[in-house]
Amino acid sequence: MSGEGDVCWLCARPLGRRTEWHHPVPKSRGGRETVPLHPICHRAIHASLSNAQLAKMGADAAALLAVEDVGRFVRWVSGKPPDFHAPTRTRK
């Protein structure tokens, strides 16, 4: 559960009842840092990018937002409530 004022690392919307913790650099690539995300944002990241791609970007949220699929997702979800849920499309 998130505390008051907490926001999602990816979309910057307030966090809802469920928070997931994401390793910007995947654990399999030596990452230790975690950041809070909405579950839908977490799924969108992993549906769009491989662990190798995530490792190259590191903890740079701006680099993630520059990825066309991720940026489009964040623009779409930006007006949704914190606990919004929808099916996530898988990687092509």
pLDDT band at 3 (very low <50, low <70, confident <90, very high): very low
Average pLDDT over residues 33-58: 95
pLDDT band at 90 (very low <50, low <70, confident <90, very high): low
Helix (H, G, I), strand (E, B) or coil at 58: coil
Distance between CA atoms of 37 and 34, rounded to whole angstroms?
10
**Two tokens, residue 89:** 């499309």
Q: How many residues does the chain have?
A: 92
Average pLDDT over residues 56-71: 94
Nearest to 58 by CA among 24, 28, 32: 24
pLDDT band at 85 (very low <50, low <70, confident <90, very high): confident
Locate all alpha helices (DSSP H) within 1-92, ordered by sequence: 39-48, 51-57, 61-65, 68-77
pLDDT band at 87 (very low <50, low <70, confident <90, very high): confident
